[in-house]
Amino acid sequence: MKTNSRQLIAGNWKMNGLVDSLSGFQTLVATLDKEEPPANVLLCPPVSLLATFASAGRGKVHLGGQDCHDAAKGAFTGDISAEMLKNAGATFVIIGHSERRQYHHEGNDLIAAKLKAAWRAGLHPILCIGETLAQREAGETLRVLSGQLDSVLDDKIAKDDLTIAYEPVWAIGTGKTPTNEEIEQTHSFIRTCLTKISAELAAKPVLYGGSVNPQNARGILALPHVGGALVGGASLKTVEFLEIIRSANVQ
Ligand code: PEP
């Protein structure tokens, strides 16, 4: 099944980028201004660059945060709220990235609260789900994915203003990916899980993330249930990120 939406190619710079990265961002914006990109484009730089990029002129590029606190404000040293991201120019926010789950011990309750915070602030959340290598090897991938969705998206908080990104943890930053057939099967399964929560949600693009690069992007983005890509390392290189954007499948 193909959805009617344009694909979304999202870049996650993680904890990379200094003020001199502005020139790469401006090249991205200027190049996409000249072309008609076949996909919607989102960049999630570190929060230190968000306002700088927003005020430099984002053209066709949407901007997003990589995480947010669930509270709107308060005594939470070092944290950033969804409202602050919005105020700095973001329209999207990534929630539940595996690096947050792993290094910051974020569990499903907190992730659900962060989703609510994103909606409260008027941001579009991208919810990351994915299995670890041990879970995959134990044959638990589908159980893990449905558990991650069910525990966060109950009837009370299910909204259609949400994008899911399937990111196998073992594929992030490793250069390894599932086969295209495996990606297709897993995305199809995720869509079936989403159908049980909301038909609108099930019709939204589901992104694939994990070692997407200019060489494998076209094949992955052509898969019927894949609605775009979440790109880490390759989004740091403007030329590579542009190549991935140009590989999007026009649906
Ligand atoms: C990510 O961090 O979301 C990601 C997909 O990283 P990479 O593309 O580097 O594997």
Query: What pLDDT digit, counting tens, does each position of 169-185 carry?
Result: 999 999 999 999 999 99
Number of domains in the chain: 1
Burial 233-245 (b: 16+ CB within 10 A, else e): bbbbebebbbbbb
Global pTM exceeds 0.75 = yes
Cβ atoms of 3 and 228 closer than 8 Å? no
Which of the listed residues 8, 221, 230, 241 should we mutate to test ligand 1's pocket, taking the one with most ligand atoms within 8 A of CB? Answer: 230
Cβ atoms of 229 and 9 closer than 8 Å? yes
- Ligand 1 atom with the shortest distance to the CA of 171: 10
CB 168 less than 6 A from any atom of ligand 1:
no
Q: Above 80 in pLDDT, residue 157?
A: no
Per the domain annotation, does 200 fall within a domain? yes
Per the domain annotation, does 89 fall within a domain? yes
Per the domain annotation, does 3 fall within a domain? no
Q: What is the spatial distance between Cα 240 and Cα 232, in angstroms, rounded to a whole number?
A: 11
Residue 222 makes CB contacts below 8 A (sequence gap 6+) with 249
2 band by pLDDT with thresholds 50, 70 and 90: very low
Q: Above 60 in pLDDT, residue 45?
A: yes
Q: Which pLDDT score is estimated for 251?
A: 65
Q: What is the spatial distance between Cα 27 and Cα 240, in angstroms, rounded to a whole number?
A: 12
**Single-letter residue type at 7:** Q
Domain that holds residue 62: 8-246
Between the CA of 120 and the centroid of ligand 1 the distance, in Å, is: 27
Q: What is the spatial distance between Cα 106 and Cα 114, in angstroms, rounded to a whole number?
A: 10
Cβ atoms of 3 and 226 closer than 8 Å? no
Mean pLDDT computed over 13-28: 98
CA of 227: how far to CAs of 163, 165, 190, in Å? 10, 9, 12
Cβ atoms of 92 and 64 closer than 8 Å? yes
CB 82 less than 6 A from any atom of ligand 1:
no
Question: ∠ CA 218-234-245 to the nearest 5 degrees?
Answer: 40
Per the domain annotation, does 13 fall within a domain? yes
Mean pLDDT computed over 110-131: 97
* C-alpha neighbours within 13 Å on the C-beta side of residue 229: 33
**Single-letter residue type at 49:** L
Question: ∠ CA 136-138-142 to the nearest 5 degrees?
Answer: 55
What's the CATH code of the domain at 63?
3.20.20.70
Question: ∠ CA 149-196-120 to the nearest 5 degrees?
Answer: 55
CB 230 less than 6 A from any atom of ligand 1:
yes
Per the domain annotation, does 207 fall within a domain? yes
Percent of the residues in the chain that have a pLDDT greater than 90, as a whole number: 88
Per the domain annotation, does 251 fall within a domain? no
Residue 146 makes CB contacts below 8 A (sequence gap 6+) with 189, 193
Per the domain annotation, does 226 fall within a domain? yes
Per the domain annotation, does 140 fall within a domain? yes
The pLDDT tens digits for 200-231 are 888 889 999 999 999 999 999 999 999 999 99
- Ligand 1 atom with the shortest distance to the CA of 99: 2
Q: How many CB atoms lie within 10 A of CB 107?
A: 11
233 is in an annotated binding site: yes
* The token pair that represents 59 in the structure block: 């053209």
- Catalytic residue IDs: 97, 167
Work out whether the CA dihedral 47, 159, 62, 242 comes out positive or negative: positive
